[in-house]
Amino acid sequence: MDVFVIQALYRAYTFLTSAYLSEPSNRNKTDCKYGIGWTFLPIQLTQPLEYVSSKLDGYPWLDYNYAYSLGNYVKKEPLLGFDYTNLDMACKFSGTTDEIGFIMVHVDINYHSPNLIKGIQTCINGNKIQGLELILYATEKINERRKTMQKVSNPSNYNNFRAFIMGIKGNEDIFGPGFKYEGSTNEELRT
């Protein structure tokens, strides 16, 4: 089984799930408040979503890692790096430059995160100077990218795609007490 194919299927099914369940919350949006989403996910989405989620040991909902950000980019020029200007989203909700900029800057930021861990490990292993230099370098790169966020994604346009990426729990405005996964094999998801 190819994990990249499973991840792509997971991304596709979570996008469909989020778009389906959130659709009325966008359609009925008034006074800058979200409307109520659908209260059940049809079996046609539930079953394949549960299958691919289980293969990744993930929850059957749009997540940051596999679906919306880190597993949702393509390089415009394959031989170039992970700079956000060379990245595009594989799947989009609004497709606006604000959504693309917001998510691709996050991918760029996360590209530098392993150096933070490597720097910490280097310090623990006794080479504090080299470790701290690596941590400083990674932190500077992450902060450079973070500072570009409002240049590439206007915060006032965030609500154009925000409803699709909100979680279920603690989001009573859209999902009330939650929703049901029709035909789920997981008792917790059916209630």
Mean pLDDT of the chain: 86
Judged against a pLDDT cut of 70, whether residue 12 lies above it is answered with: yes
Task: Decide if 108 contacts 83 (C-beta within 8 A).
Answer: yes
> Quick one: which of 30, 50, 85 has its CA closest to 181?
50
With the CA atoms of 103, 108, 114 and 117 taken in that order, what torsion angle do they form, in degrees rounded to the nearest 10?
-80
pLDDT 10s digits, 19-77: 898 888 766 556 667 778 888 899 999 999 999 999 999 889 888 888 888 889 999 99
- Integer Cα distance of 189 and 180 in angstroms: 6
Judged against a pLDDT cut of 80, whether residue 184 lies above it is answered with: yes
